Each structure stands twice: as C-alpha cells, then as structure tokens.
Structure 1
Amino acid sequence: MAVARRFGTYWPTVEAKLASVYGEDQRWPDFIARLRESVLDAAKARPLALQALDAEREASPDWLSAPGQTTYSFYVDRFAGDLNGVRRKLDYLTELGVRWLHPLPLLEPREGDSDGGFAVKDYRQVDPKLGCLQDLAALAGDLRGKGMGLILDVVCNHTAREHAWAVAARAGDPTYRDYFIVVSAEEAACRDLELIDVFPDTAPGSFTPCPEMGGHVWTTFYPFQWDLNYANPAVFAEMLDVLVFLAAQGVQGFRLDSAPFLWKQAGTTCRNLPQTYALVEAWRAALSIVAPGVVLVAEAIESLEDVLPFFGDDAGGCDLAYNNGVMTALWAALADQDAAIFRRCLAASSGKPGRAAWLNYVRCHDDVIWNALATYAPREDLARWSRFYAGQTESFSLGKAFQTAAGGEPSTNGMAASLAGIGPGEGGASAGAARLALLYGIIYGLDGWPLIYMGDEIGLADDHLYAEDPLRSGDGRWLHRPTMDWSLAARRSDPSSLEGVLFSRMRGLTERARMLDQHGVAGTAQPLDLGVASVLAFERAEGTRGFLCLANLAGVPVTVDLPAAFASGATDLLGQGRTSDESLSLPAYGLVWLVTP
C-alpha cells in the first residue's frame, strides 16, 4: 500500500523531469518503461528494517529541520584505519554529539592515485583497504541502533578509467562507448576555451587522448577520471541503480559529488545547466518512491545563484546542500573583522525552500575557493583574502595558497586550526582557539545541519608530511587531510588543554542547538547590521521566541546596541545570563545566543 501511494505521488515527477531531458530521444519510450518497472521492483524489495525508518520519517515531515543534527566528515583510513575501526569509535562520536557520519569516498577506487578516492572503480564494492560491503552494512546498522545515520559520497559525474564500463568501452563495446564522451582533437581544443579548468596546474584541460576510444575522452578533473555521458538515458538509470543498491545496505544519505558538471552543452561552461537540475530532481523523486528516508546532499561549490536550484522546484530536489558561500564569507569576514560580506551571502542563502536545509561548515577536505564569492565582492577583496590566508600579508593564518583557474584568485589549503592561527603548542586560551570556537559557534546557530570536519574538535593541525608521499605530494589539499591523533583526542577531558577547550565547546554547542526548538526558536537566519563593523549578527524570528546571534570578529572588546526585543530580559543560551541594558559588551571573539523572554 505504501509503495503504491508513493508511486502515485512521485512517479509523475520522475517522468516529467526526465521527459524534459530525454523526451525527444528515440530511446525514450523503452527507457521510461524499463525505469518504471525497476523503480517499482526496488521499492517492493526494500528491507523491512529500512521500511520502518522510511515510515518514521514520512510520519514526521519536518524531521529534516530538527536542530542539532551534527554531521562529522572524515576519511575512514585517516580517522580509524578501516570501517570496523570506525565502529569502535562510535562512543567518541556520540560523546561529541554527532548524529550523522559522512565518511569521504570509500567505494572501491582505482589503484594508485585516485584523487582521494574520487576515481571510483566499482560503486558496489568497498575499498578493500577499508573493509567489505558487509562491514559497511554493519556500520550502517550500528548507527541506526544509536539513532544516527550514514551519508556516503557517490561520484556521479565520472568514473575511474578502470571501471568496468570504461574497460568495456575501450574494448569496443558500443553500449559502453556511449557511456562516455569522445571528441576530436580539434573539438577538444575548442571546447577547452569554453570550459573552466578545475585543476589548471596539476591536470590542465578537460580532455585526454585515448587511441582505443578513437579520440579525446572528456575528463573534467584528472585524466584517469572519465566523465559520464548523461545524454545517454542509460547512464541516469545506472546511477539510480547504484543509489538504490547502496540505500539497501542501510546508507541513509548520498553526497552527489561534482553534481554541477553532469550535463554537457556546447557554448557553455557545462556547469549548472537546467538538465543537470532536472536529473537531480528525478533521482530525488525516484528515491522518494524506493527509499523516502534517504537524503540527497548537493556538492556544488558554486555561486549561491547556481546552488539554490539544486534544492529543486515544488517537487523537490536535494534535501541539503553545502553552504559554501556562507562558509567562505565567514573566513573573509574574520580576516577583515568586518561582517559585511557575511551579511550579503547569508541574505542570498536565505532564499532556499523551507523544506530543505543547508549543511553549514567551517572546513572540509577541499580548498577554500575565494572565486565562489565573485558575485558578492570585488576582485580586490578576493585577492586580499587569498593573500591573507596564504600568509602572504600580515595575518594570523598559517594556510597555504592553492591553484586557481585563469583569471581567478588562488584558493586556500589548511586545517581550520591553521587558518584560525593556532600555532604549535598553543593552548585553549590562545586567540586562534577563540577564533576557531567562534566560527563553529556561528554555524551552530544558523538554521540547518552543522558539520564538523575531522580533527577540528581537538584543533588538529596540518599534515606537512603529505609532501613526502608520492601519491599525495602533487595535490596540496592533502595538507588538510591529516591522520587523526588519538593521543591528542585523549586530552579532551582536560579543561586546560586546547583539545579540552575545543571539544567541550563543540559538544556544548550541539547540546544547546538541540534545545533551540524547546526554546521556541525556528526559522531561517536573516542578517542584521547593528552598526558595528566587527559584530556579525543574525536573527531567527519565525518561532514563538526570537533568536539573536552576536559574534565579535575582532580581537578586542566591543559594545553593541541591542534590538529592542532583546534589550531587557533576553537569555544567553550559551552563558545563561540575562540582558539588562540596551547595549551589550562582547569580549574579543565573544559570542552570545540570545532568546527573547
């Protein structure tokens, strides 16, 4: 009965979205008929335990917006060795308040350099170094038992050249040759002029010659990563099968890696095209039939105008997306001790649908891309922030410059602790620790899911040894992909240590965030300008009580006039004090969460 109901609700969306992309293709009638049957079969075969989870979430449609859904992102091998090692660390993660685990790519990659696991050889197998499929299912089961969920990376734009589809294509199989895109040398040269280089220093150009394929294969990222041909409807169906297969193992969410690049069209940059959004919406609608408890996360590190459509129209698209614009703006505002750029980006991000949520973060496994703020700040600002965090000007940052496309500003590499200026041996009372704690305090106050990048909770520093590893030395992003230092994590109970201060701070933020709905706090964060440049302020005003976050981006105390509703009797949820005046003093890097009486 539930399958029939969901099919009646969502199948028209699947068909309509795909018709907008493939409706004129001669393969359309056979394709959509086959897809209809496969979706129905998959929905009926959904494991009973997962059907129960689906029913629970369908019964609480607002569950996605519940506060305090802390997510933890990490590389499995660098965090705990393998999947069973992760299972043994679940007590640590629950102590931190984590609700969602987001391990970075763990499906079987190609041998050798795999771009950090993003060159997938087999979507249905786990990297043998990390375990097996049964280990993955066991981890997913452990998490369900603790009220937690597992989000996996699915690299949907490309496969490794060693993937079975690419092997068959090179062997001459016409079915699989049409899974990839091959052009002449002349066309490749012309198209490269339209496209934006992702890795101009380490992998220039977007095409790789392959004599076996009779031309140049489209490779947006690295030569060993072959872009899939989504103009072929069979490719859409294959990737949906992958999502359904992994969901049946207990995976509760998918990060759609490189989603902006799916559709290729001459005369464009081949990013964020209407067909791309339609494909993502069709995946969402199909999964709403098969596995409605599963969430989709858009990995779209683009301008906010290009990210927002990934949430879809009324029918729905991705449930979450990385709030990249706000993240980058936070670092920019901290450098300038001026919240103006944050206000511009937060205002733009507030345009998302109410049913969706932002994934708010301070750092991740990738670089900080200043060019993503080009819509909101002049070129000279982007250049200044780039130099600041590369340590090329007077700065607290210990970060390093990364590559950029022609005409852009270099991105920044480095762990959050390094970018915040936590030097070797510094303790929890350092200015760098205060800056890092401040940034996390801000993202926990925003609506959406807060994400912790592995090690930030103990101030883990950069891994400079990556340069000595031949498989990693060519990619500067490995600077901020260190191995977890469990000896440092063991100090998290010491309130005088850096690790103790940061761990306690993040655990406390999770506890306070989960209580926001009990305090009557709800709604989208909206920026406020209170007339003091260094005071970052936003309010959430759609609940029964008003909420105001105030953060001092400066290393000196400031005083700010409070909005009338918060001027007397408002409670600070972080300090538990009450306001008694029309103004409030904030210490250096101070933070308050105020709720109205």
Structure 2
Amino acid sequence: MTIAAELKVAASPSSNPSAHRVLEDRLTRLYGVGAPKLLARVDRALAQAAQARPEPLRALDAARQSDPHWISRSGETVYTFYVDRFAGDLQGLIDHLDYLQGLGVRWLHPLPLLKAREGESDGGFAVQDYGAVEPALGDMATLERLAAELRARDMGLLLDVVCNHTAREHDWAVKARAGDPHFRAYYRLVTDASEVTRWEEDLVDVFPDTAPGNFTYDADLKAWVWTTFYPFQWDLDYSNPDVFLEMLDILLHLANKGVQGFRLDSAPFLWKRAGTNSRNQPETYAIVEAFRAALEIAAPSVLLLAEAIESLDDVLPFFGVSSAACSLAYNNGVMTALWAALADQDVGIVNRMLGAAAQRPDHGAWLNYVRCHDDLIWNALAQYVSADDLQRWSRFYDGGGFSDGRRFQTAPGGVPSTNGMAAALVGIGKPGVDQTLARSRLSLLYGVIHALDGWPLIYMGDELAMGNDVAFLDDPARAKEGRWLHRPDMDWALAASAEAGGTGSEVLDTIRLYGRAAQALNAAGVAGRAIPIHLSAGVLGFERRGGQPFLCLANFTEEAQTVTLLAPYDAPGRDRLTGRDIPSGPLTLAPYELIWWSVVG
C-alpha cells in the first residue's frame, strides 16, 4: 500500500466504525431526514481534519488509545486562570511553565482566549472569531507553540470553546443583521412579541440583576434574538444542521493546533424547547455525544469537559446517555457541599453528594475543585437539602462567620450565590479570624479534592492564598460584574517569596505536596470511586474502591475529633501525606486535620 493510500485509510471515518455508527445515529435523532446530507458533509470534514493532523498529535492519539483508562489516573492536576491576569499574554504563559510544572500541574485550562468583542465581553465569553486569539494575548502561532511546549513536558492544553452563543459582532451575526437568510437561521430569532412572552414564562434568568430576560430586540434583524446571558451574546440554533457542522469544524481546527481538550461552555443551553426551561434537553446530550463520536474518528486523544453547573441528575448525562460523551465534568455538587460542611462543621451533605457522584460511568472522571472564576451556586444543592439550609449557607458566606465573601445575583425565588476567592471564603486576612485555622481550612479543602477520584483543579492564586480583588469596583468596565472579586492579577512577588520559603510558602508547599501524593497513588495501586464512610458528624471519611485500601479522613471542625475505624482500616496504617505511622484503635484528628490512610508498606 502506498503512503498516500495509507493516509486515505487512516483519514476515513469508516476506520472507526463504532464511532461512526454513534455519529450517524445521533445526527439522525437530531436532524431526521436531513441527517444523511449532513453526515456526508461531516464525513468530508473529518477526513480532511484527519489527513491534516500533525504527526506528533497522531502519536498522542495512538498512545491514549492504547491506554483506555488514562482518564482515571490520579493527580492529573488542572490549573485554571485568565491569561492576561496570570501572565500578560501567551508568551508570558510559556515563560511561567516552570512554575506550573513545579506545582505538579499536568493540564492548563486558560479561560476564554479566542478573539472576543471589544468592550464588555463577559470575561471573554462573547467570542467574535473562533479562529483567532485575542490580539492582546498573542496569535494562533503562539498558541500552537504553547501547545507544543506543553506536550514536550507531558502536559496538556484545555481550551474554552463557547458553543452556545457568539458575540453579536461575530461574522455570522453581522451577516444575519445584514439580512442574509442563511445566517439568520444560525440564531434563535422571534418576530412576535407574544411568542417572546410565552417562552419567558418557562425560562429562568441567569443574570436577573445585570441582564434580565432571555431575549433582546435587534432593530437590524427586526426580531428578538435569544440571549440567555447578556444582550451581546446571541444563542446559536442547533436545530439548524449548519450550526452543528460549523462548531464541529471549530473543534477540529483547534484540535489540530494542539489543543488536547475542550471545555464546552454553557453546554446545558444548546437546545431550546417550548414549555421547558430549555436546559439539559435530550437533544443537548445527543449533540455532545455526536461531537465526541466525531472526535473519536479524527482526533481521538482530545477530551471534552462539560461546563454544566447544574443538579447532579442533569450533569451525569453529559458523560453520555447511551454512548460516551464528555470525559470530564465539574463535580459541582461535591464542591458546593464542601463549603456547606465547613460552615456547619457537619459533613452530612458531603456524604450525600459523594454517594450521588459515585454514579458516574467508568469512562468519565470528575473535575474536582474548590473555586473557579464563577460564583458558588447554592441552588445546585436544592434537590438534596431544604431551602433554609441553602439560605443559611448563602448568608454565612456573605461576610458572615469566618467568611469574607459577597452575595451574587440569583433568579427570583432562588438563593443568592457567593463570590470570593477561596482564601477569603475561609477567612484568611479577615480581622478577628484565627489565621492558623483559616489556613488549615484552605489546606483541608484542597487535600480532599486531591484525594477524590478524578482530576483536581487549582484556581489561580489559591496556591498562594491570594485574597479578593476589591479594586475591580474602581474599574468602570468591571464594576457591575461581581465575579471580578475573585479574578485578581497574579501576585508574582508573592509567588517568588513563597518559592523562596517566605510569605505564602506554607500553602504553596502544601498544595505541591498534595499533587505529588495524588500522582503517587497510581503506582501504589489506589484506584476507584470515592465512597463515603459515615464516621461522625464532623469527620469526613471516604475510601477509594478499586485497588489497594485507601481512606481519606478530614476533620471539618475547629475541635479535635476522635473516630473509630472499621476493617480494613482498623489495622496499623500510614499517612501518605506525612509518612507517619497510624496505630490501630481509635484515632484522634486535630482541628481541620487531614489524613490519607493507606496500608503499611
């Protein structure tokens, strides 16, 4: 067989018949009689992308296909940040890779860096051009260089792709406003005001204070355009097969630039249906499964991350309903429960959420986190606890107790979310709060997420216990968006001090320890889901089932707690974090103490 023929076979969608069958089935579900024509167009796009895929990325594809369980490894630490606030631009990011690698980071997740609209852009989530990098951050060549440098370090790049909406300045929207019927069909448009009213009856406002309503009238369109988030972010219409193909082309293009994973922003909103809240519809999951199947054909090493901050019942299907979809999803329920447990000094809600999270499929992994660039959404726990519980936690973190957080907007009848850096939420820097206990709370949370099954995520600055950025209120471009409270500029002077053993070193050294310890679990044979073990109201316990015995113990109270362990954990063990031996019998944990119990040897 000639080289040209070999390339043709490798690039053929039929080279992965099982993935192609899934793709055909999902497109048929979504587009009915129009599916065959769309499938032919998709096949051509996949063949072209596969043929154009650079050799180093083909090698990565082959390596990951030979190790189907790689997604389940412990210690695949992710670091998330805004490029400009972390390093100025992409070249600055490349210059700081030694710092990140020293932190134990395996994956970089920069928040939106594709070209956004000028002016207000929802933190970059209003994309004007998916094929270009934000000019202030660099260009596509620099992005490719970053991806290559990461591969050389055995690291990967997770990129935000805003798949639900575009900026109103995107070329598609510009052509739609100019009257082009082809591109008008890319967006959800309504020409009758009474129809808008009917839709709104079932919809929930995402930003009721700063952007109420879900539609915006546009004089050029002579119609209301669906705008779930802000008026300048126009929702795409995925019932149009052209939109599916356009977004797939974007994923394939960026995958061949070296991007190893995509965070599908606002994924729950992809499909609209009258009489519902138009979130997490069955077609939404089918779209994501179709994306996954297509990538399995042309770029099989590339993973998908569902940005679905929803109830667990709505998140789990993003892993796939009847076939694989996303490899990763945010473990939002457990994250929120951890904060609730700190407030109450009672781990009951964490036990409930861990039990629910264990329902994930084997092919998927949780992205475990303490904080991120968004607000802490208490409503995500609504199906597990009472409204009084949600209100109590919301009030606690709105500057109450040890917390220095701030309330954020919510829909009418909902519970206000919480803004703030993790350090501020645990009380670091707050007058009158015991700072030793505050630092212990932060370390406890990060120690727990590193011990869980899944990938731990570090939010920029948490490794240095950086606090809130109240200066955003002085910037007219950011002052109305409360989430900028927890989007500070990276403090590189503090980082230098911490690395030299000075101010900030305690938390930095601890998180570095967690990263090493989590990666060491693989060689030690620790695997499997985190299953809660009920010990006492104040002590969280969970085991990892699937390998060598492992038990995480975390005291969520300000008092020493004594617990009695059952077999096999009642035998002498060893703390994998400190190396100290743990005798059999009752075990006493100091305030906010964390132990990773494992067998001796």
TM-score by length of 1: 0.97
Q: Match for residue 516 of structure 2?
A: 511
Indicate yes or no: 2:443 matched with 1:437: yes
Of residues 528, 541, 555, the one that matches 1:537 is 541
* Root-mean-square deviation over aligned CA pairs: 1.4
Alignment of 1:302-341 (within 5 A): 302-341=310-349
Q: Match for residue 26 of structure 2?
A: 17
For the 8 Å contact 1:182–1:214, the answer to whether it is kept is: no
- Secondary structure of the 2:220 match is helix
Q: Match for residue 148 of structure 1?
A: 155
For the 8 Å contact 1:428–1:502, the answer to whether it is kept is: no
Deviation at 1:596, TM superposition (A): 2.8
Q: How many residues align?
A: 590
Alignment partners' CA distance in 1, 2:557 and 2:423: 17
1:332 counterpart letter in structure 2: A
For the 8 Å contact 2:160–2:263, the answer to whether it is kept is: yes
Of residues 88, 105, 109, the one that matches 1:98 is 105
Indicate yes or no: 2:556 matched with 1:548: no
Q: Match for residue 108 of structure 1?
A: 115
Indicate yes or no: 2:302 matched with 1:294: yes
Q: Match for residue 396 of structure 1?
A: 402
Alignment of 1:333-352 (within 5 A): 333-352=341-360
Q: Match for residue 31 of structure 1?
A: 38
For the 8 Å contact 1:447–1:525, the answer to whether it is kept is: yes
Q: Deviations over 1:67-113 (max 9, x none)?
A: 11000000000000000000000000011010000000000000000
Of residues 553, 560, 563, the one that matches 2:563 is 560
- Secondary structure of the 1:315 match is coil
Q: Compared with structure 1, are the counterparts of its residues 469 and 6 closer, same or farther at alpha carbon in structure 2 (3 Å cutoff)?
A: farther
For the 8 Å contact 2:11–2:48, the answer to whether it is kept is: no
Alignment partners' CA distance in 1, 2:165 and 2:522: 41
Deviation at 1:445, TM superposition (A): 0.2
Alignment partners' CA distance in 2, 1:425 and 1:568: 43
Deviation at 1:213, TM superposition (A): 1.2
1:49 counterpart letter in structure 2: P
Q: Deviations over 1:286-313 (max 9, x none)?
A: 0011111111000000000000000003
Indicate yes or no: 2:533 matched with 1:528: yes
Alignment partners' CA distance in 1, 2:76 and 2:153: 13
Q: Deviations over 1:175-212 (max 9, x none)?
A: 00000011121111221110011000000000000121
- Secondary structure of the 1:549 match is strand
Deviation at 1:425, TM superposition (A): 9.2
TM-score by length of 2: 0.96
For the 8 Å contact 2:402–2:430, the answer to whether it is kept is: no
For the 8 Å contact 1:10–1:285, the answer to whether it is kept is: yes
For the 8 Å contact 1:77–1:130, the answer to whether it is kept is: yes
Q: Match for residue 452 of structure 1?
A: 458
Q: Deviations over 1:192-247 (max 9, x none)?
A: 11001100000000000012112110000000000000010110000000000001
Q: Which runs of 5+ in 2 are unaligned?
A: 1-8
Deviation at 1:496, TM superposition (A): 5.9
For the 8 Å contact 1:428–1:501, the answer to whether it is kept is: no
Alignment partners' CA distance in 2, 1:125 and 1:496: 40
Q: Match for residue 408 of structure 1?
A: 414
Q: Deviations over 1:152-172 (max 9, x none)?
A: 000000000000000000000
Indicate yes or no: 2:288 matched with 1:283: no
Q: What fraction of aligned residue pairs are identical, expressed as a percent? A: 56
Deviation at 1:428, TM superposition (A): 11
Q: Match for residue 576 of structure 1?
A: 579
Alignment partners' CA distance in 1, 2:56 and 2:460: 30
2:220 counterpart letter in structure 1: E
Task: Report the more deviating stretch, 32-41 or 188-197.
Answer: 32-41
Q: Deviations over 1:452-491 (max 9, x none)?
A: 0000000011110111111111110000000001011111
Deviation at 1:329, TM superposition (A): 0.5
Alignment partners' CA distance in 1, 2:334 and 2:316: 13
Alignment of 1:144-223 (within 5 A): 144-183=151-190, 184-223=192-231
For the 8 Å contact 2:428–2:435, the answer to whether it is kept is: no
Q: Match for residue 360 of structure 1?
A: 368
For the 8 Å contact 2:421–2:468, the answer to whether it is kept is: yes
2:538 counterpart letter in structure 1: S
Alignment partners' CA distance in 2, 1:159 and 1:451: 27
Q: Match for residue 429 of structure 2?
A: 423
Q: Compared with structure 1, are the counterparts of its residues 298 and 52 closer, same or farther at alpha carbon in structure 2 (3 Å cutoff)?
A: same
For the 8 Å contact 1:428–1:496, the answer to whether it is kept is: no
For the 8 Å contact 2:144–2:258, the answer to whether it is kept is: yes
Deviation at 1:578, TM superposition (A): 2.1
